[in-house]
């Protein structure tokens, strides 16, 4: 991973999140706490404020500091879960530089596994993991098979969208939506949608030369 790419990703994700304000707020009001967008916006703003500090650091330290900042900035369940992703990525980057797609895929898969463990959740429970798990699986399979980068990015985006859309028909078993039972059916999970937005944005950025 490269620090300059990570910094560009922060900016791109911030723009994508802000552009999705109305949708994310609507989704979260339907079956969540109604604060998902506010928390994401606060987290993105905190990371943007760190750009000058992060620019001179190696990627593992950048990811670690991002995780710590999100942990202290974002409330609710999102903060610890997003922090877990970045801190796990940092650990992998420090022990084995993720300088190829298979290595990046392995680091991402480990971070998703860490979220599963921390959130005590898995596939089919109407959470962000319904987006993240299919993406991690697709990324690992295609990168290890040596598929072209552009094909991998497209497949990742498709897996993210399919996973996100699958939450519409699921009964929530985690978080506030779990109290709604079958009434949560018909609504897309806000965390799954925001995760899809982030993954789509980063994949698009990865296609462009730095």
Contact between 69 and 90 under an 8 Å Cβ cutoff? The reply is no
Say how far apart CA 200 and CA 150 lie, in whole Å.
Answer: 13
Extract long-range pairs of 114-120: CB within 8 Å, 24+ residues apart: 114/84, 114/85, 114/88, 115/81, 115/84, 115/85, 118/80, 118/81, 118/84, 119/77, 119/81, 119/174, 120/174
Q: Provide the percentage of residues in the chain whose pLDDT is more than 70.
A: 91
> What does the pLDDT read at residue 176?
61
> What does the pLDDT read at residue 147?
95
Q: Is 17 exposed, middle or buried, given 0-12, 13-18 or 19+ CB atoms closer than 10 A?
A: buried
Contact between 103 and 60 under an 8 Å Cβ cutoff? The reply is no
Say how far apart CA 145 and CA 154 lie, in whole Å.
Answer: 15
Q: What is the CA radius of gyration of the chain?
A: 16
Q: Is 76 exposed, middle or buried, given 0-12, 13-18 or 19+ CB atoms closer than 10 A?
A: middle
Q: What pLDDT digit, counting tens, does each position of 19-28 carry?
A: 998 888 887 7
Q: What's the mean pLDDT in 56-67?
A: 94
Nearest to 149 by CA among 198, 101, 109: 101
Q: Given CA atoms 17, 8, 74, 126 in this order, what sign does their dihedral have?
A: positive
Q: Which domains does the chain have, with CATH numbers?
A: 3-207 (1.25.40.340)
- Could you tell me the pLDDT band of residue 99, with boundaries at 50, 70 and 90? confident
| pLDDT of 115 strictly over 70 | yes
Q: What pLDDT digit, counting tens, does each position of 154-206 carry?
A: 999 999 999 999 988 877 776 665 656 666 677 788 889 999 999 999 999 99
> What does the pLDDT read at residue 125?
85
CA angle 48, 15, 109 (to 5 degrees): 80
């Amino acid at each position: 991973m490269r620090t300059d790419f990570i910094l560009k990703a922060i900016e791109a994700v911030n723009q994508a999140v802000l552009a999705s304000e109305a949708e994310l707020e609507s989704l979260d009001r339907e079956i969540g706490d109604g604060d998902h967008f506010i928390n994401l916006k606060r987290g993105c703003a905190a990371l943007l404020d760190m750009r000058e500090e992060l620019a001179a650091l190696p990627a593992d330290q950048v990811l670690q500091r991002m995780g710590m900042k999100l942990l202290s900035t974002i409330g609710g369940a999102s903060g610890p879960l997003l922090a877990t992703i970045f801190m796990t990525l940092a650990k992998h980057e420090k022990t084995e530089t993720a300088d190829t797609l298979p290595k990046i895929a392995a680091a991402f898969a480990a971070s998703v596994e860490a979220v599963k463990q921390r959130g005590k959740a898995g596939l089919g429970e109407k959470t962000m993991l319904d987006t993240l798990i299919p993406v991690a699986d697709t990324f690992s399979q295609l990168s290890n098979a040596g598929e072209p980068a552009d094909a991998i990015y497209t497949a990742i985006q498709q897996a993210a969208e399919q996973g996100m859309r699958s939450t519409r028909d699921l009964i929530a078993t985690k978080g506030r939506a779990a109290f709604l039972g079958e009434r949560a059916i018909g609504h897309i999970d806000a965390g799954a949608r925001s995760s899809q937005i982030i993954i789509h944005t980063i994949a698009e950025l990865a296609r462009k030369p730095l």
